[in-house]
Structure 1
Amino acid sequence: MSTLRGRLFALLAVLGTVTALAVGGATYVSVRAEADALFDYQLRQTALSLRDQGRVAGDEAAALTDPSFDYVVQIWSVQGLELYSSRPQGMTEPLPARAVLGYSDLRLGGQAWRVYSAATPMRVVQVAQPLAVRQKLAALAALRSIVPVAVALPLVAAALWWLIGLSLAPLARVVQAAQSGGANALHALPTDGLPGEIAPLVESFNDLLGRLSTAFDAQRSFVADAAHELRTPLTALKLQLGLLRDSAPGPQQDEAIDRLRAGIDRAVRLVEQLLALARAEPGAAAADDPLDLAELARQAVADVQPLAERAGVQLSLTAPDPLPLEGDAQALRGALRNLLDNAVKYGARQVQLSALRGPRGAPLLRVDDDGPGIPAEQRERVFDRFQRGDDTGVEGSGLGLAIVRAAARQQGAVVRLTESPLGGLRAEMAWPG
């Protein structure tokens, strides 16, 4: 698997190599052109220095005939009489007697020459140099100019590798911190020194770890509370089963059977509420189907109507218009059923459910009752799991309002408890406008 450091280094190395080749090529061409211009200048200066001399001195003649001297010098009088001529080794033909003033190129014996000719009223001087020699010297000068680039390239590559590693060191610390934690480690990863492109990713990951930690804590608390709450009804069922076994046939046995049936019903109700709460927990998959809140309200009233009739509670519904929404119909119906069930159980004589639109046109579900209500300082606490009201004579598990809040959050709504105009409690489930 390729690493980010390797990818960055490869891309920068390719870019650096292309740049170095371009710079080196441009330098090579430029230095060769400057070398050619310098050689032309030397050729011209040599010709001009000999043009004004009356004769070639002995020491100059010796220097011109030196085998290492790669220039050819010829001097004629204006009458065409050769006054001086040097011919280095390997030169088979002399320069032509007819000179072209200034710079010119010619071929002698299969070899290219660069020639400069200068004239005075008394003589003509012609100096030539083999192009092969010029090109060799120019190429050597150009190559020497790009040697520093070639030497610096691997050094720059090494420095680039080190700098990339130094820049990615904070990310390496994040990786090490993530790998060092155990399977249950949900601590935040370090964000110190992270580059601006990586920091948002790590911060988002830390937020995810925080949410996971909160969810796991809630799950552990839920499992512990559920185990505690289930222990009581199961123990009661065992006792009632023992009483049923020991009772004689007749009214005593029938009473024991009724108590056992009621205990089973309570246990089933508790398990159903626990499952409903688990489905409404954060992170649980929720349906997102089109539904009508007014129709859900009618179904919830129909579910609770038998309980209200047995308790002598007047249950009414106000839902004049359809309220289209996308959400989980089962979760919302269960939340409404719990709100109505609580109102009926806790002493209300009149319960009214309203499905309407709020001030901003958003859907709003409202349950009003004329019961004893809940003191303002306790209204937030009653949303906790297994938290029941002050009336301990009412059967229940204390999960109803916890289910309502969890379902509302899952559907993007909020739940509020306030005083009702009927004198009791008002519970509202509102969606943002």
Structure 2
Amino acid sequence: MSLRVRITLLLSGLTALIVIIAGFTIHQLTQADIRKSIDEKLTVQLSEVSETPVLVSVIQTQRFFSNLNRRNSNDPSFVERRLDIEIPTFIKSQDDIILATEGYPDFSGIIVPYGFSDIETDGAKWRVLTKTMEVIDFSAIRNIHSAINSGRISYERGMEQLANSDKVNYEILIQAAVKRTSINTTLQDLRQRLVLVGILAVIVSAIAGWLLGTTLLKPLARLARHAQVVTNSADLSNRVEDTYGPPEVETLALEINEMLSRLELSAHATDEALRSSRAFTSNVAHELRTPLTSMRTNLDLPKIHTDMDTSERIQVLNNLVLEHERLLSTLESLRLLARGDLSEAGIFEEIDFAQLIAAIISDQQKIDPECVIKLELPSNPPLLSAWRQGMTLLFRNVIENAQIHSRSSNQKGVQIDIFVEVINQDLKVVIDDNGPGIPQSERKQVIERFIRGSNASTVGSGLGLALVSQQSAIHGGSIELEESPTGGTRAVIILPVVIS
């Protein structure tokens, strides 16, 4: 189900719920108001009828008048009253029916309680108000009324006599009833109108929800189209537009772009891993072929030349040992190169450079006690954010490379000078040796993998300076080869990101 349909259904459902609640409330309030209005009419009717002058007139004439006018209209005691002759009214004295107006229902056999009640008779429902009152003897009423009419006594005097009379002989029952059919008809009409309004409201809300959903989903539709373009493209550097209007959609576009960036980095890392794996396989196949072939040749020599003397056999064994050492060195270098290609920023840590370089120098001097290594550090040695094993590999290879090549071409002894300084938040390390040096035309080539200089000794795999270049690049630095003051090689290593 699409989001647009869901919005439409949700809005329609909410509208229907609101219409139902509002309709029910209006229906109940209307029903209560109608009942209250009817009850008020019944109350007024019985109140008017039960007043003594009116009741006397009704009893005497046994009928209702629209207007009860007195002969002396100027007399303030005569008050114009109005009775609702359309409300069926019933007056009974004990068992004698005094008056039952037209339309009054037959409640024979039905006990009607005092006050308001709902009575059903002959299939019709009525709202009934019942009231009782006590009046004086009818003959006394007539005598006083005759005296008032003849003028023997005043109206006020006659009313006073009626009020003060203690000859109460009759209990009067007065009832007024209104048929509830009008209420039911009104409520039925109201219900029909409410249902009609509700249906129209739901239809209108559904149309409005559909249009609203279309409007709201336009930015998402554009975002989906752009995302589809990116999906169909093999280039993960493509990005979706992040200017769609609503902040929520723009946030979603930014998150998609962030996800694409992470995917791009992940894909790049995967490509690099595959490239490194292929390169490692190719390098292993290329570099191991020569030493393995040489070892096989040396192993075959005793079989071919069975008359070899002891000194020749020892020479063959020494060659095998050298080839074996070269093979191990090559494998270790390839392993370190592959690990360096796959290194991540998470392995970096704070390193005290002074302690690191001092430990490397100490290890190298243990291997070659005759090598003289001088170290000059700044007064405040820096802390590096670096990969410890990578830093150790970098400087150990530079120093070891200087030792190997300087020893093979120098009879006076090997001397290596190391100068360290901090320049503009960069660490600069200069390492000079007194070896044969590297011709200027070869200085950029020898830092490539499996490239050895023309002045290099026979020992080595051609990976030492390649490892140095790799680690410098991993740490965001660089290495340059120059000529040292002593005619040997100067390695200038610059590593940024110094923690002071």
Map 1:24-423 onto structure 2 (within 5 A).
24-25=19-20, 28=23, 76-79=66-69, 85=86, 92=105, 109=119, 130-151=182-203, 166=221, 169-170=224-225, 173=228, 188=236, 191=239, 196=253, 197-247=255-305, 248-283=308-343, 291-305=351-365, 314-319=372-377, 324-325=383-384, 327-347=386-406, 350-354=415-419, 356=420, 358-360=422-424, 365-371=429-435, 379-391=443-455, 393-410=457-474, 412-417=475-480, 419=482, 422=485
**Number of equivalences:** 362
What is the CA deviation profile of residues 323-382 of structure 1, one whole-angstrom value per residue up to 9, with x for unaligned ones? 55565443322221111122234458542234x451356655442335565577765544
How far, CA to CA, are the matches of 1:242 and 1:232 in structure 2? 15
Structure 1: runs of 5 or more not aligned: 44-73, 94-105, 114-126, 179-185
Report the alpha carbon displacement of residue 268 of structure 1 after superposing the two structures with TM: 1.3
Report the alpha carbon displacement of residue 238 of structure 1 after superposing the two structures with TM: 0.9
Q: Per the alignment, do residues 133 and 83 of structure 1 end up closer, same or farther by CA in structure 2, a change over 3 Å counting?
A: closer
How far, CA to CA, are the matches of 2:433 and 2:315 in structure 1? 35
How far, CA to CA, are the matches of 1:147 and 1:86 in structure 2? 38
Report the alpha carbon displacement of residue 270 of structure 1 after superposing the two structures with TM: 1.0
AA in 2 matched with 1:76:
S
How far, CA to CA, are the matches of 2:434 and 2:126 in structure 1? 118
How far, CA to CA, are the matches of 1:420 and 1:15 in structure 2? 80
Contact 2:428 2:494 in 1 (8 A): yes
How far, CA to CA, are the matches of 1:350 and 1:21 in structure 2? 94
Q: Per the alignment, do residues 342 and 288 of structure 1 end up closer, same or farther by CA in structure 2, a change over 3 Å counting?
A: same
Report the alpha carbon displacement of residue 152 of structure 1 after superposing the two structures with TM: 5.8
How far, CA to CA, are the matches of 1:76 and 1:141 in structure 2? 36
How far, CA to CA, are the matches of 2:326 and 2:404 in structure 1? 15
- 1:121 aligns with none
Contact 1:226 1:274 in 2 (8 A): yes
Q: Per the alignment, do residues 168 and 285 of structure 1 end up closer, same or farther by CA in structure 2, a change over 3 Å counting?
A: closer
How far, CA to CA, are the matches of 1:273 and 1:132 in structure 2? 100
How far, CA to CA, are the matches of 1:90 and 1:191 in structure 2? 86
How far, CA to CA, are the matches of 2:457 and 2:82 in structure 1? 143
TM-score, length basis structure 2: 0.56
SS of the residue 1:358 aligns to = strand
How far, CA to CA, are the matches of 2:264 and 2:435 in structure 1? 45
Contact 2:446 2:453 in 1 (8 A): yes
Contact 2:430 2:490 in 1 (8 A): no
Q: Per the alignment, do residues 85 and 234 of structure 1 end up closer, same or farther by CA in structure 2, a change over 3 Å counting?
A: same
Report the alpha carbon displacement of residue 212 of structure 1 after superposing the two structures with TM: 1.7
Contact 1:352 1:367 in 2 (8 A): yes
What is the CA deviation profile of residues 252-281 of structure 1, one whole-angstrom value per residue up to 9, with x for unaligned ones? 112112111111111111112112222222
Does residue 428 (structure 1) correspond to residue 493 (structure 2)? The answer is yes
Q: Per the alignment, do residues 18 and 283 of structure 1 end up closer, same or farther by CA in structure 2, a change over 3 Å counting?
A: farther
How far, CA to CA, are the matches of 2:204 and 2:452 in structure 1? 78
SS of the residue 2:423 aligns to = coil
Report the alpha carbon displacement of residue 399 of structure 1 after superposing the two structures with TM: 1.2
How far, CA to CA, are the matches of 1:299 and 1:177 in structure 2? 54
Contact 2:437 2:455 in 1 (8 A): no
Q: Per the alignment, do residues 417 and 77 of structure 1 end up closer, same or farther by CA in structure 2, a change over 3 Å counting?
A: same
Q: Per the alignment, do residues 218 and 276 of structure 1 end up closer, same or farther by CA in structure 2, a change over 3 Å counting?
A: closer
Percentage of pairs with the same residue: 20
Contact 1:295 1:322 in 2 (8 A): no
SS of the residue 2:497 aligns to = coil
Q: Per the alignment, do residues 246 and 318 of structure 1 end up closer, same or farther by CA in structure 2, a change over 3 Å counting?
A: farther
What is the CA deviation profile of residues 209-244 of structure 1, one whole-angstrom value per residue up to 9, with x for unaligned ones? 123213312321232122101111111111122224
Deviates more, 1:321-330 or 1:197-206: 321-330
Contact 1:174 1:189 in 2 (8 A): no
How far, CA to CA, are the matches of 1:390 and 1:149 in structure 2? 92
Q: Per the alignment, do residues 333 and 131 of structure 1 end up closer, same or farther by CA in structure 2, a change over 3 Å counting?
A: same
Contact 2:385 2:497 in 1 (8 A): no
TM-score, length basis structure 1: 0.63
Indicate the structure (1 or 2) with the bigger Cα radius of gyration.
Answer: 2
Contact 2:223 2:241 in 1 (8 A): no
Q: Per the alignment, do residues 286 and 176 of structure 1 end up closer, same or farther by CA in structure 2, a change over 3 Å counting?
A: closer
How far, CA to CA, are the matches of 2:293 and 2:65 in structure 1? 132
Report the alpha carbon displacement of residue 147 of structure 1 after superposing the two structures with TM: 0.7
Contact 2:384 2:497 in 1 (8 A): no
- 1:59 aligns with none
Q: Per the alignment, do residues 302 and 189 of structure 1 end up closer, same or farther by CA in structure 2, a change over 3 Å counting?
A: closer
Q: Per the alignment, do residues 230 and 322 of structure 1 end up closer, same or farther by CA in structure 2, a change over 3 Å counting?
A: same
